[in-house]
Amino acid sequence: MRFAPQRLNSLASVLSLLLLQGVEQVDGHYGFPVVVINGVVSEWWQYVRPVGPDDYGNYFQPLLDYTGEPQVCGIDGTKTGSITGTAKVEAGSTIGFIAFSAIVVTAPVWPTFNESTDGIRHEGPGQAYMSKAPADLESYTGDGEWFKIWSSGSSDGQHWDTYRKAELNFTIPKTTPPGKYLVRVEHFNISPIYGQTQQYINCAQVEVTGPGGGTPGPTIKFPGGYDPKDSSIWLPNALYQPQKPTELLKNYKGPGPEVWTG
Ligand SMILES: *[C@@H]1O[C@H](CO)[C@@H](O)[C@H](O)[C@H]1NC(C)=O
Ligand SMILES: *[C@@H]1O[C@H](CO)[C@@H](O)[C@H](O)[C@H]1NC(C)=O
């Protein structure tokens, strides 16, 4: 699919602004502008709400503030629903978010995946949430309840499972009630220094089909759901880059509620 002309125009104007501001190439930072649904790789920002630059004009910059609007869907992600499409996805199927590096944006021609620069470039956990739009999804600001559908830590007790992966994959739980949702993906560049754990957050718009029947929960809100003092965010030193596998890291649990598996 291609962007509708007016959607392309508004995207192009948001993004030419980024170019004017002289976005620097910063290896290591990343975002999730592309989703894989039913095995089909989307265009950039086709189903993921476009995000804006930070105060310095940089794009895909890490988020360090756990209280503001960017906590929901990235910078400006509460506002860009109307220029974003909604993907149909069958409950029980897998959805993937591909990580692209914070390289210079070349709107409206977006880069294709480059193995030497793209993918998850920082050590840390990944999680995913969903929130049902009470009415219209495009204008939904994500101020409702969010339930967790995926959480990835360290299965070997030494390395983070998502590190150097091209994408984050997870399943939309089988009994998710049909309807329109934001799907929020987050990845941390986790740090043992207070206030330094970086977040990378994006949201896709999906319409879930299927039989439903489940009651998603427990839920939290964004912003407000995370406390930067939580030891799953302000990582204890013993869990940071251990020299050998440790049960402490194996038992790491990301912030927020339990995963709802449907
Ligand atoms: C991928 O990135 C590397 C490093 O920046 C660059 O040398 C190479 O040309 C890129 N490959 C493609 C196909 O663009
Ligand atoms: C994600 O799923 C795709 C298939 O859609 C697969 O090729 C890829 O290896 C998976 N990635 C990870 C990190 O599991």
Q: How far is CA 85 from CA 63, 122, 167, in A?
A: 25, 29, 20
Question: Looking at the CA of 116, which ligand is closest?
Answer: 1
pLDDT of 154 > 90? The answer is yes
Give the closest ligand to the alpha carbon of residue 117.
Answer: 1
Nearest protein CA to atom 10 of ligand 1, as residue: 114
pLDDT top residue among 131 and 21:
131
pLDDT at 27: 57
Q: Pick the ligand that lies closest to the CA of residue 99.
A: 2
Domains and CATH numbers, the chain: 25-250 (2.70.50.70)
The candidate with the shortest Cα–Cα distance to 166, out of 204, 109, 117, is: 117
Sequence letter at residue 60: F
Q: What's the one-letter identity of residue 101?
A: S
Nearest residue to 95 (alpha-carbon basis) of 187, 177, 203, 220: 203
**Which structure tokens are listed for 243?**
């020299």
pLDDT given at position 23: 39
Ligand 1 centroid distance, CA of 99 (Å): 16
Nearest CA to ligand 1 atom 6: 116
Q: Is the CB of 261 under 6 A from ligand 1?
A: no
- Say yes or no: CB of residue 111 within 6 Å of ligand 1: no
Alpha carbon nearest to ligand 2 atom 5, residue: 39
Which segments of 68-148 does DSSP mark as H helices, in order? 70-73
Phi, then psi, of 194 in degrees rounded to 5: -55, 130
**Quick one: average pLDDT of 234-259?**
97
Confirm if 51 and 43 have CB atoms less than 8 A apart: no
Ligand 1 neighbourhood includes 115 CB (under 6 angstroms): no
Beta bridge partners of 101: 30
pLDDT at 10 over 60: no
CA nearest to 27, candidates 112, 117, 116, 123: 117
Substitution site in 94, 167, 187 for ligand 2 pocket (most atoms within 8 Å of beta carbon): 167
Question: pLDDT grade, residue 134 (50/70/90)?
Answer: very high
- Is the peptide bond between 218 and the residue preceding it cis, with omega within 30 degrees of 0? yes
Taking CA atoms only, the protein residue closest to ligand 1 atom 12 is 114
Give the position, in ligand 2's atom list, of the atom nearest the Cα of 162.
13
* Arithmetic mean of pLDDT, 139-145: 98
169: CA distance to ligand 2 center in Å? 6
Lookup result for tokens 């804006």: 52
CB 235 within 8 A of CB 197: yes
* Band of pLDDT at residue 166, cut at 50, 70 and 90: very high
Q: Whose CA is nearest to atom 4 of ligand 2?
A: 39
Determine which residue's CA is closest to atom 6 belonging to ligand 2. 169
Enter the tokens of residue 234: 């302000």
Q: Report the alpha-carbon distance of residue 104 to residue 45 in Å, rounded.
A: 16
* Encoded tokens for 51: 């995000």
| Mean pLDDT (the chain, rounded) | 89
What integer pLDDT is reported at residue 17 of this predicted model? Answer: 41
Ligand 1 centroid to 114 CA: how many Å?
6
Determine the average pLDDT of the residues in 126-142.
98
